[in-house]
Amino acid sequence: MKVISVLSRKGGVGKTLLSVGVAQVLGEAGHRVALLDRDPEGSAMGWQHGAQAGGIPLPYRVIGPIEATTMAGMDFLVVDTPPNDIRTLQDSARQSHVLLVPLLPGAGEMDRLQETVQALSEVDLQKGVQMGFVLNRLEHDNVSSAMRPALEQLGYPVVAQIRKAVDYQRAFGNLIPAHLTAPFKEALTTLGVKL
């Protein structure tokens, strides 16, 4: 089983969206996927409850920490993590084969990113771990377009870019519409995960 963790010390950057998006595209490609919700706020769990209430079958199952230990036969475990919880971040990172770090455009966001990078640098990661940064909520302005070169200058590979779209917000408790799933596929394939 391949473990993919979505991490950031900052809240509201799109961890849950990226987790759900990645789980969805893997599930739609025919893999057996579980999404582990390690956030005590349970946003990914809430997403699944919304889908159940609406009668929408998701191509993955959201599970809690106890279930996670008994999950067998999955191809992928996607881990959604809480903000401001360095222990959970480091614990998830240690057990992962792929790390995805979402971030928002803005100079202040770059500073906050360093906290996440610092926390990850303290972890004994798996051999051959793949790590990528995902720019989220991009707009057509100078701040957004400056982000990718700035990150790459720091040696942080940008593996996908997600534009700001109200349809992502509206997708809570539902499937992400097909025309908005390309960045999730790109993030995975860029890091060598076959769909």
Q: Which is nearer to ligand ADP, 36 or 153 (CB)?
A: 36
Kindly identify the residues of this chain, within the stretch 97-136, that bind ligand ADP according to CB under 6 A: 136
Stretch that binds ligand ADP, among 9-17, 23-31, 127-135, 139-147 (CB under 6 A): 9-17
DSSP state of 180: G
**Token pair in block for residue 42:** 């349970």
Q: Token pair of 67, please?
A: 């279930």
185 binds ligand ADP (CB under 6 A): no
Euclidean distance between CA atoms 122 and 124, whole angstroms: 7
- Partner from Mg ion, ligand ADP, none binding residue 38, C-beta < 5-8 Å depending on class: none
137 binds ligand ADP (CB under 6 A): yes
Q: Of the ranges 13-21, 58-66, 125-133, 146-154, which one interacts with ligand ADP (CB under 6 A)?
A: 13-21
Q: What is the residue whose two structure tokens read 């400056």?
A: 146
Among 2, 164, 189, 190, binds ligand ADP (CB under 6 A): 164
Q: How far is residue 137's CA from residue 129's CA, in Å, rounded to a whole number?
A: 26
Asked if 12 is part of the footprint of ligand ADP (rule: CB under 6 A), the reply reads: yes
d(CA 19, CA 101): 10
Q: Least CB distance from residue 92 to Mg ion, whole Å?
A: 13
> Given the rule CB under 6 A, which of 70-78, 125-133, 143-151, 159-167 is the region that contacts ligand ADP?
159-167
Query: Considering beta carbons, is residue 91 or 124 the nearer one to ligand ADP?
Result: 91
Using the rule CB under 6 A, which residue among 3, 4, 9, 14 binds ligand ADP?
14
CB-nearer residue toward Mg ion: 15 or 31: 15
Report which of 61, 94, 66 is spatially closest to residue 78, judged by C-alpha positions.
Answer: 61
Q: Which own/partner pairs from 153-159 qualify as long-range (CB within 8 Å, at least 24 positions apart)? A: 156/113, 156/117, 157/131, 157/132, 157/133, 157/190, 158/132, 158/133, 158/134, 159/100, 159/132, 159/133, 159/134, 159/186, 159/187, 159/190, 159/191
- Binding interface with ligand ADP (CB under 6 A): 11-17, 43, 136-137, 162, 164-165, 168-169
